[in-house]
Structure 1
Amino acid sequence: MTSPITGTAAGVPFTALPPATDGPAPLLVSWHMLDAPRSNAAFAAALPMNGLPVWRVHLGMPMCGARMVDGSMDAGLKLMREDVLMSFLHPFVRQATEEFPAALASIRAQLPVNDGPLGVLGGSLGGAVALRILTDTDIPVAAAAIVNAAIRMRSVVGLFGDYPYDAQSEQIVDGLDFVAQADIIAARAPLLIVSGESDHPELRADAFHLADALDLRSEMLSIPGLAHPLADEPGIEPAPQLPQARDVDAGLTRWFRRHLATASQG
């Protein structure tokens, strides 16, 4: 396989996997989890989608991978302990979404990708970023997929215990409820919802609720034996692909081959 290409796009670190064919090809962009794999390089190794005739460009989330402070996740964990929603989850999703248009322009200037609609993919908190691209931007998207995603931020916050909501945090968390925004998503692009059968029950329930709300504009893929992470700890450096991640990878490859690679040829 061709070696990954590493670089930065408008300050955002990326790991790019080229298609096997020469010439301009469609673009698929991903945002990784904060669980393992928690860097763009590790996410690329967990879900390489080899054989897919598109560029797979995996972007780094804020304060992760090359953007870790002093080479560790400690600074991010401190923000999580300070206020899991307002200092950690929401700012990470907001920053990753807001920095994407400039990063996309830079990717297109650096790599031989075509200028047609792209694919977007997100895992866990990165899934919330991919969904925000659909709900909060007008960037043309041909197909989208999420894996064990943060579909309702209230469910994610609940994993950390009781949270002292106030008027501002209620407004923020409601704005990150993508089941409530299913009509917007359905109008934008077909969505593959990948859910591990051993994921957190709250997140798995949200995946089914979103699939029901989207109806024919989505497809649900359940992965037996998959918990929330897609890789072993520590999840920062590339690691061998786990069997459950291989099943996710195969499903994503089929989805984007049908909806992204085919669309680019039409």
Structure 2
Amino acid sequence: MHPPITGTAAGVPFTALPPDGAGTAPLIVTWHMLDAPRSDAAFAAALPMHGLPAWRVHLGMPMCGARMVDGGTAAIVELARQDVLMSYLYPFVRQASEEFPAALASIRAQLPVDDGPIGVLGASLGGAVALRILAGTGIPVFAGAVVNAAVRMRSVVALFPGDYPYDEESGQAADSLDFVARAGLIADRAPLLVVSGELDHPGLRADALDLVDALGERAELLSVPGLAHPLAEEPGIEPAPQLPLARAVDAGLTRWFWRRLADAGRIRPPR
């Protein structure tokens, strides 16, 4: 097991976990939660997918990890207080997805990854980024996965106190991040594993099941008993020992990506 590699890719911090062995290998890119684990390093510790013969490159979300303001999350909390959708949720997803093509090019220049289609994985708000990459870009993807994902942004907004005052602009922003409505685009791009904790927020849980139904045979559901929304203990910024329920998610993700890479002939099936 190789130690993590840290760096930046076109200004985006990352924690990369190399595969065993030499030579080039497939690439899987992830985006973490804004709940725990809320940094690329912490997410790599929670869902390392050890043993998978692929590079796992965990990208930092805006204002998280190495991009935190004054070493904490107070600035994010202030943005949420100002306008939870238009100052916080929507611009975070938009920035993370729009900075990805340049980050991907930089990753390919820095690490010995092959030039084939990539895997994408996102959790919670990072799940919206992965889904936006699938629904809104032409980047070749062999398979995707999301964990307790922000599938419909209106459901995420509803988790915050008060009735959000939607107007035309904010309504359009929220609806652009409704991935049940965009399921046809996702289905045309790649198969998707939808991991949903049975104790996740009820609205997010319902959206996950709706997405699976909308994707049909292009989706698989991994329902995890006992799993609430977070995947790590607070504060979730630094790497921490893997929790048992995160281990169950990690095993499911490892099997999923291994199977999809083997089906494509890019790695050998597991013994």
TM bucket, shorter chain: over 0.9
Q: What per-residue deviation string (whole Å, max 9, x for no partner) do you get for residues 86-105 of structure 1?
A: 00000000000000000000
Tell me by how many angstroms 1:225 deviates: 0.7
Aligned to 1:137: 137
AA at the equivalent of 1:75: A
Aligned to 1:172: 173
Q: Does 1:196 align with 2:197?
A: yes
What aligned pairs does 1:145-164 form with structure 2 within 5 A after superposition? 145-161=145-161, 162-164=163-165
Tell me by how many angstroms 1:260 deviates: 2.8
| Alignment partners' CA distance in 2, 1:64 and 1:137 | 24
| Alignment partners' CA distance in 2, 1:261 and 1:43 | 25
Give 3-state SS (helix, strand or coil) of 2:264's partner: helix
Aligned to 1:235: 236
Q: Give the share of equivalent positions with the same residue, in percent.
A: 76
What aligned pairs does 1:1-266 form with structure 2 within 5 A after superposition? 1-161=1-161, 162-265=163-266
| Alignment partners' CA distance in 1, 2:115 and 2:265 | 10
Contact 1:26 1:264 in 2 (8 A): no
Contact 1:53 1:261 in 2 (8 A): no
Tell me by how many angstroms 1:263 deviates: 2.0
Contact 1:116 1:264 in 2 (8 A): no
| Alignment partners' CA distance in 1, 2:261 and 2:138 | 17
Tell me by how many angstroms 1:194 deviates: 0.1
Q: What per-residue deviation string (whole Å, max 9, x for no partner) do you get for residues 124-160 of structure 1?
A: 0000000000111100000000000000000000000
Contact 1:54 1:261 in 2 (8 A): no
Give 3-state SS (helix, strand or coil) of 1:104's partner: helix
Contact 1:26 1:261 in 2 (8 A): no
AA at the equivalent of 2:94: R
Unpaired stretches in structure 2, ≥5 consecutive residues: none
Q: What per-residue deviation string (whole Å, max 9, x for no partner) do you get for residues 230-250 of structure 1?
A: 000000000000000000000
| Alignment partners' CA distance in 2, 1:206 and 1:76 | 25
| RMSD value, Cα | 0.8
Moved over 4 A (4+): none
| Alignment partners' CA distance in 1, 2:135 and 2:216 | 17
Unpaired stretches in structure 1, ≥5 consecutive residues: none
Q: What per-residue deviation string (whole Å, max 9, x for no partner) do you get for residues 83-123 of structure 1?
A: 00000000000000000000000000000000000000000
Q: What per-residue deviation string (whole Å, max 9, x for no partner) do you get for residues 5-37 of structure 1?
A: 000000000000000121000000000000000
Give 3-state SS (helix, strand or coil) of 1:265's partner: coil
| Alignment partners' CA distance in 2, 1:41 and 1:265 | 27
| Alignment partners' CA distance in 2, 1:18 and 1:196 | 28
Give 3-state SS (helix, strand or coil) of 2:13's partner: strand
AA at the equivalent of 1:242: L
Length-normalised TM-score, structure 2: 0.97
